[in-house]
Structure 1
């Protein structure tokens, strides 16, 4: 929920998967550009063809580089897909939307801005989120990626809820972790239903409804 996590010294976002076996990151600007081009190309191909039908030759063709260049930075289709998902996670956790100063804005306004930023980022990444859901059903490794992603969002929101409790603004009897898991899951599933499955709702309806449910669930003192 909070948009000021880094300013408050919260821990860095963990990687979605064990990356210890991945290729070392490029050390030159040219290498970084080539790797970024491959990740961007892979996203195009995955969103167009799906994970199962995506081919490495299509990715390298889209990136306008050789197969040998691909294997300089990635060992497999699975690895480059994880790199694509990592980028999407960063966008969704740090979406670049207008942020509010928590010391100046009301908690309800912060919740609203955070929900809007998340929902807009989910919409940008909806095709990728749909693919991740599908792959997670059949592949335990990607199921763990999805679980880690959900836990990351819930942990950040739990810290925000705990801060509001310390300030005496929300129900002190609520368990921050469980509340964050429930509320984060609600927003995420709603976003999935609308942006991936085609349920009908405007962005205003989504933001207004999720914000009101957050405020009501926490018994937020809006005075």
Structure 2
């Protein structure tokens, strides 16, 4: 899955200079989108922040939709961390689960403004609505594979359907992250509160999967 499916993206530049200019435009676009929002973002402002002529923009991107897709793809790569697949016979499964949840929540916090913009744009553009659905499916599939692996190791309850469990638990964490980091539903943004969120989410995951071996 990639954001390129949301909009037609041109072939990547063949030269180092071209790749550097394209990367500068994507970085600039993120700043402008986060500052001005999707609807009010201007291509002239993106080119200005990137330090290049407006005409250069069209060498690499067709329109605002296309560069927004590129920005989302970059954020997606940041958020798709290794997660539960790191469990091995020498690891404490609860600690690995906790590290996975912390990494996801940290990545969500880094990309919170973009996640908020994606929700807004998905309401008016079916291509980005489809991207949002594919993004959710990718996380669900990855976590379902992690749950199945834990079941094979005798760590998670064998009678839990891994896909359904992943849909429920992944949705819970994603909605919670949106509410806290985008919707402002947290009472405090301190590090202690963040760790409370991580600990609570991890306990809910472990309890739902009936972990056979935890630190709790």
TM-score normalised by L of structure 2: 0.91
- The 3 A distance-change label for structure 1 pair 45 and 20 is closer
In 1, Cα distance between equivalents of 2:66 and 2:72: 10
* Map of 2:63 onto structure 1: 76
Q: Normalized per residue, which structure has more helix?
A: 2
Distance verdict in 2 for CA 1:20–1:44, change over 3 Å: closer
CA separation of 1:106 and 1:94: change in aligned 2, threshold 3 A: same
- Aligned positions of 1:49-60 closer than 5 A: 49-60=36-47
Helix, strand or coil at the partner of 1:18: helix
Which residue does the alignment assign to 2:76? 89
Aligned 8 A contact 1:16 1:148 in 2: no
Question: How many Å separate the matches in 2 of 1:105 and 1:94?
Answer: 18
Tell me if 1:64 matches 2:36: no
- C-alpha deviation, 1:100, in angstroms: 6.3
For structure 1, the residue ranges without an aligned partner over 5 or more in a row are 1-13
Say which of 177, 195, 210 aligns to 1:204: 195
Secondary structure of residue in 1 paired with 2:22: helix
Q: Greater shift after overlay, 170-179 or 121-130?
A: 170-179
Which residue pairs with 2:98 in the alignment?
Answer: 112
SS class of match (1:26) = coil
Q: Is the 8 A contact 2:6 2:131 kept in 1?
A: no
75-84 or 104-113: bigger deviation:
104-113
Q: CA-to-partner distance for each residue in 1:72-110, whole Å, 9 max, x for gaps?
A: 111110010010001001111138x9x966332211111
TM-score scaled by length of structure 1? 0.88
Aligned length: 208
SS state at 2:107 partner: helix
8 Å CA contact 2:7, 2:65 repeated in 1: no
Partner of 2:117: 131
2: CA distance between counterparts of 1:32 and 1:144? Answer: 28
Shift >6 Å, 4+ stretches? none
* Residues 139, 158 of structure 1: alpha-carbon distance in 2 compared, 3 angstrom cutoff: same
Specify the SS of the correspondent of 2:11: coil
Gapped runs of 5+ residues in structure 2?
none
Any residues of structure 2 matched to 1:3-82 within 5 Å, and which? 14-18=1-5, 21-82=8-69
The alpha-carbon deviation at position 138 of structure 1 amounts to 1.6
Change in CA separation of 1:111 and 1:145 when aligned onto 2, cut-off 3 Å: same
Residues 147 and 166, structure 2, Cα contact 8 Å, conserved in 1? yes
Give the Cα separation in 2 of the matches to 1:180 and 1:106. Answer: 20
